[in-house]
Amino acid sequence: MGSLLQVVFDALALGSLYALAALGIALIFGVMRLVNFAHGDVIAFCVFALLWPSTDAVAVVFAGNLPWFLLIPLVLAVGAALSVLSELVVFRRFRRANPATMMIASFALGFVIRYFLLMLYSSRPKSISLLPALSQPIEIFGARIPLLQLITILVTIAVLFGLTAFLRRTRFGLEMRAAAENFTMARMLGVRANRVIMGAFALSGALAGAIALILGSQTGTANITMGANVMLMAFIATVIGGMGSLAGAVIAGFLLGSIATVMQVILPPDARAFRDAFVYGAVILVLIFRPQGLLSARGAKERV
């Protein structure tokens, strides 16, 4: 019973992480058809923003010493600011470019961010202790669950409810959903394109900040490539969720997290090393049977 519960929590926590990241990618894809490869580097940037630039192995914590009620808004704001800045400086000039060009531009931007961090902090992973109170385990029905896992799951649920309320109840949210569904039509009806896109980037950046906090306190290290793996999984989740469908991205994020965790448990020990191969095989299978994604966004089908 206890170990089963442990697996459930592991799956939910990993899934939450993927779901949050997938949301960040799907938000931007929805409004401007951009697959943002810089997202992972924004995540890493948010973690490093807490450290004082140095190349030592032990991080000089700078802003990370703030109390949590200041620390969390700060990290979210850093993510949002960097994300909005990247839209103002780079992506605004790519409005008419085709998706492949935008994708490579976002990748180049991520490259710039990564090596900027490398220049300031060196490529060595650094140990940090971020919100150390969260790493103690608590006991629920005989399973020892790290408090952080529980909080990750709760935060994700809160973010999902908050985002749903925002998208359904506010004018800005309505504009954003309209833009995601049919961008040209929304503009003709008076939605300000640049404002909506900027809003999407700000939200996506703040989500990156949230992931940075979770990852930073989970692993206890800051590494300039720490966002890459999460971003790739999120990217996959966005696609199998149905590009542009926010609900689909979240569901697929949880699905991927669960598949990865469950496979770790049920695969025979010999095959366990090949877990990722099985996960990616499952991804290909999903795509073959539902190429438009689990929940395809309305209006996503190309008309002839």
How far apart are CB 266 and other proteins at their closest, in Å? 17
109 binds other proteins per the rule CB under 8 A: yes
* Burial class (CB within 10 angstroms; exposed 0-12, middle 13-18, buried 19+) of 169: exposed
If the CB atoms of residues 43 and 243 are measured against other proteins, the closer one turns out to be 243
Q: Choose, by CB under 8 A, the member of 4, 85, 104, 157 that binds other proteins.
A: 104
How far apart are CB 35 and other proteins at their closest, in Å? 7
Q: Choose, by CB under 8 A, the member of 2, 53, 73, 99 that binds other proteins.
A: 99
Listed ranges 6-14, 95-103, 149-157, 179-187: which one lies at the site for other proteins (CB under 8 A): 95-103
Name residues contacting other proteins, limited to 31-50 (CB under 8 A).
35
Q: Choose, by CB under 8 A, the member of 67, 69, 96, 133 that binds other proteins.
A: 96
Q: Choose, by CB under 8 A, the member of 52, 116, 166, 172 that binds other proteins.
A: 116
How far apart are CB 258 and other proteins at their closest, in Å? 17
Name residues contacting other proteins, limited to 190-229 (CB under 8 A).
228
How far apart are CB 75 and other proteins at their closest, in Å? 24
If the CB atoms of residues 9 and 48 are measured against other proteins, the closer one turns out to be 48
125 binds other proteins per the rule CB under 8 A: no
Rounded (5°) CA angle 80-156-241: 85
280 binds other proteins per the rule CB under 8 A: yes
Name residues contacting other proteins, limited to 228-267 (CB under 8 A).
228, 232, 235-236, 239-240, 243
39 Cβ neighbours under 8 A, 6+ residues apart: 21, 24, 25, 110, 204, 208, 227, 231, 234
Could you list the residues that contact other proteins (CB under 8 A)?
35, 90, 93-94, 96-101, 103-105, 107-109, 111-112, 114-116, 118-119, 228, 232, 235-236, 239-240, 243, 273-277, 280-281, 283-284, 287-288, 291-293, 304
